[in-house]
Amino acid sequence: MELYVDTANIEHIRHAAMLGCVSGVTTNPSLLAKEDPSVDVKQRILEIHELIGGHLSVEVVSTVTKGMLKEAEDIISWFPEATIKIPIIPDGLAAVKELSKKGIPTNVTLVFSPTQAIAAANAGATYVSVFMGRLDDIAISSNDVLNDICEIWEVQDYESKIIAASIRHPMHIIEAAKAGADIATVPYKVLMQSLKSPLTDSGLEQFLSDYDKMQTERQKILNI
Ligand code: E4P
């Protein structure tokens, strides 16, 4: 399972890109606004693109097919490898169909059920983003929904890649990987949490202190 970082924060993306374990970035209008409500979206997206050099999903804000297609055209003119993020609404599906005919990658977002995921796959979505945290927020098991979708993908042999999105904690990453999601898009804070273990910290501290002891003993012998 690949890891993407789910943020529009430049410093976080710069650091995540350095880690070597992150291959893409997903953004949405809320993530962009959180960093800077007056942001020049095109400029910020191009900065992110330069930093990550891999997958970058950019979301449209129009809710009608024609508007979505026009926005997609604009985004592609900023950088041709862009993945166009489109909400799972009827107009969105029609836009996905059109873009897929032209070979433009799409990420169908705000997916909360297997039936929505099936519709997105049939429209030709390159990626389908299943929102885990927001399902758990309303007491629907995101694990069950994601498992159902992954099972359907296996049976039906759908080509769209499944992105586990709206990740809130490291357990979501584990559940997504076990279910068979292709990608988990993870907020920077959760990404960093997922790398930590108190045993790594204490183990490293012990290794370094033993190394220091060894050096001190060796120095004593050499000075004799
Ligand atoms: C990713 O594609 C989504 O935009 C994102 O994961 C939403 O996360 P949230 O539910 O924490 O806002």
Give the tens place of pLDDT for each residue, 32-49. 999 999 999 999 999 999
**Cα–Cα distance, 7 to 22 (Å, whole number):** 12
pLDDT, residue 81, reads: 96
Q: Is 87 left (phi over 0), alpha (psi -120 to 50) or beta?
A: beta
Please report, in angstroms and rounded to a whole number, the separation of the first and last CA atoms in the chain. 56
Residue of 66, 70, 85, 161 marked catalytic: 85
Q: Are the beta carbons of 121 and 139 closer than 8 angstroms?
A: no
Tens digit of each residue's pLDDT (9 = 90 or more) over 57-85 = 999 999 999 999 999 999 999 999 999 99
pLDDT, residue 74, reads: 98
pLDDT band at 52 (very low <50, low <70, confident <90, very high): very high
CA–centroid distance, 58 to ligand 1, in Å, is 12
* Residue whose entry in the numeric block shows the structure tokens 């191009």: 46
**Cα–Cα distance, 135 to 129 (Å, whole number):** 13
The CB of 83 under 6 Å from ligand 1? The reply is no
How does the average pLDDT of the chain come out, rounded? 97
Q: Are the beta carbons of 178 and 144 closer than 8 angstroms?
A: no
Q: Is the pLDDT of residue 29 over 90?
A: yes
Q: Whole-structure pTM over 0.85, yes or no?
A: yes
Tens digit of each residue's pLDDT (9 = 90 or more) over 125-168 = 999 999 999 999 999 999 999 999 999 999 999 999 999 999 99
CA–centroid distance, 35 to ligand 1, in Å, is 15
CA–centroid distance, 187 to ligand 1, in Å, is 8
**Cα–Cα distance, 162 to 118 (Å, whole number):** 11
pLDDT band at 224 (very low <50, low <70, confident <90, very high): confident
**Which residue has its alpha carbon closest to ligand 1 atom 4?**
28
The CB of 130 under 6 Å from ligand 1? The reply is no
161 catalytic per annotation: no
